[in-house]
């Protein structure tokens, strides 16, 4: 793979590298605005955001607020006026001063976009800028490299589109048509972190026989665009005792809180079932999942570990849910 010339040049190419990054992010933002039906260009965003935050501004005030030249403000002003998003008027006391303010159309568009798109873009940019837990950038170039690496894994556009898909998540029950999804999702994430044990194979190869027919459930998360993206099961271990197991999410849906949606749906289903004990087994390597379990009410328990922990070789964490 060819070297990244701008990255290799270090601070010498800082301006060029920032410009490249800005163009990449702005191009994604333009696609997102268009995909969601908003006729707004990235170059117009700073001005519209300023008007949305501060109300009417004079040209001079806009120059100060945006930190750009007066000709640049005037050019942007003309485009948003032409689009019907803003209007201008002279100052009542000084005809040389021009005020810029949103039209009713502009206010309506910005209210909609402020509620339905900008929060997703902000969260996606935050995710793309994040370092792994416990680490932090040592320099500006380090932070830039991490951002570029994260964007190469999933662009800003992809991240936002996944977030908007997540709002359409549907939780559905097991059917024989979904048995392959159950197998694929579980086999992938277990193999990715550990190794498939015989206990895993028995369950994912025979979900109806070992889970459904014995009184358990399997729930799936799916969206119209991405299909099945996650799964979670309750398996009956003995009378009144169930294990929450096989919770996994596909790679293209990670970061969308699908696991939490599935976990909460499974807990709610458990509350409606006749059971005296609900527990789960996991491994300390699954720190994000453990945090999710703790957040949703599961408690670490040594007795559960001693009684059921031998079920999997990889198990070194056991928790129960106080029903």
Query: Across-strand partners of 227?
Result: 223
Instruction: Give residue 16's pLDDT.
Output: 96
In 3D, which of 123, 125, 88 has the Cα closest to residue 106?
A: 88
Query: What mean pLDDT is predicted for residues 117-142?
Result: 88
> Does the pLDDT value for residue 159 go beyond 90?
no
> Does the pLDDT value for residue 1 go beyond 60?
no
Q: If you average pLDDT over each of 54-63, 113-122, 217-226, which comes out highest?
A: 54-63
Instruction: Give residue 86's pLDDT.
Output: 95
Which residues are CB-neighbours of 203 under 8 A, at least 6 positions away? Answer: 186, 210, 211, 233, 235, 245, 246
Please tell me whether residue 213 adopts helix, strand or coil conformation.
coil
Structure tokens at 23: 């163009």
Instruction: Give residue 120's pLDDT.
Output: 86
Structure tokens at 136: 């932090």
* Structure confidence at residue 228 as a pLDDT band (50, 70, 90): very high
Instruction: Give residue 181's pLDDT.
Output: 96
Contact between 106 and 48 under an 8 Å Cβ cutoff? The reply is yes
237 phi and psi angles, rounded to 5 deg: -90, -45
Instruction: Give residue 223's pLDDT.
Output: 84
How far apart CA 290 and CA 318 sit, in angstroms, is: 10
Contact between 185 and 259 under an 8 Å Cβ cutoff? The reply is no
Contact between 280 and 248 under an 8 Å Cβ cutoff? The reply is no
**Higher pLDDT pick, 271 / 1:** 271
Mean confidence (pLDDT) of the chain: 91
Instruction: Give residue 257's pLDDT.
Output: 77
> Does the pLDDT value for residue 2 go beyond 70?
no
Q: pLDDT tens digit string along 196-218?
A: 999 999 999 999 999 999 999 99
Q: pLDDT tens digit string along 87-117?
A: 999 988 888 899 999 999 999 999 988 888 8
CB neighbour burial string for 167-193, b if at least 16 within 10 angstroms, e if fewer: eebebeebeeebbebbbebbbebbeee
pTM value? 0.55
271 phi and psi angles, rounded to 5 deg: -65, -25
């Amino acid at each position: 793979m060819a070297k990244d010339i701008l990255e290799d040049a270090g601070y010498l190419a800082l301006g060029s590298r920032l410009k490249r990054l800005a163009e990449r992010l702005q191009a994604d933002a333009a696609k997102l605005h268009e995909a969601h039906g908003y006729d707004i260009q990235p170059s117009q965003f700073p001005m519209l955001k300023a008007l949305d935050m501060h109300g009417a501004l004079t040209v001079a005030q806009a120059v100060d607020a945006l930190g750009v030249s007066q000709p640049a403000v005037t050019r942007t002003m003309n485009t948003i006026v032409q689009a019907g998003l803003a209007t201008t008027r002279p100052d009542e006391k000084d005809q040389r001063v021009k005020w810029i303010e949103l039209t009713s159309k502009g206010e309506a568009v910005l209210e909609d976009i402020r509620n339905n798109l900008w929060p997703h873009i902000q969260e996606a940019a935050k995710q793309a800028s994040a370092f792994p837990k416990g680490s932090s950038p040592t320099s500006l170039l380090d932070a830039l490299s991490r951002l570029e690496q994260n964007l190469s894994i999933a662009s800003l556009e992809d991240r936002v589109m996944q977030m908007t898909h997540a709002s359409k998540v549907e939780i559905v029950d097991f059917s024989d048509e979904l048995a392959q999804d159950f197998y694929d999702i579980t086999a992938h994430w277990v193999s990715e972190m550990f190794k498939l044990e015989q206990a895993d194979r028995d369950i994912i190869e025979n979900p109806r026989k070992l889970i459904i027919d014995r009184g358990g459930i399997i729930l799936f998360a799916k969206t119209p665009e991405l299909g099945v993206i996650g799964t979670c099961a309750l398996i009956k271990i003995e009378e009144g005792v169930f294990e929450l197991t096989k919770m996994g999410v596909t790679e293209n849906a990670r970061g969308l809180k699908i696991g939490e949606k599935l976990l909460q749906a499974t807990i709610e289903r458990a509350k409606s079932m006749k059971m005296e004990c609900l527990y789960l087994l996991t491994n300390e390597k699954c720190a994000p999942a453990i945090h999710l379990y703790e957040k949703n009410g599961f408690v670490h328990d040594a007795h559960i570990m001693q009684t059921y922990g031998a079920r999997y070789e990889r198990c070194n964490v056991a928790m129960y849910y106080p029903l």
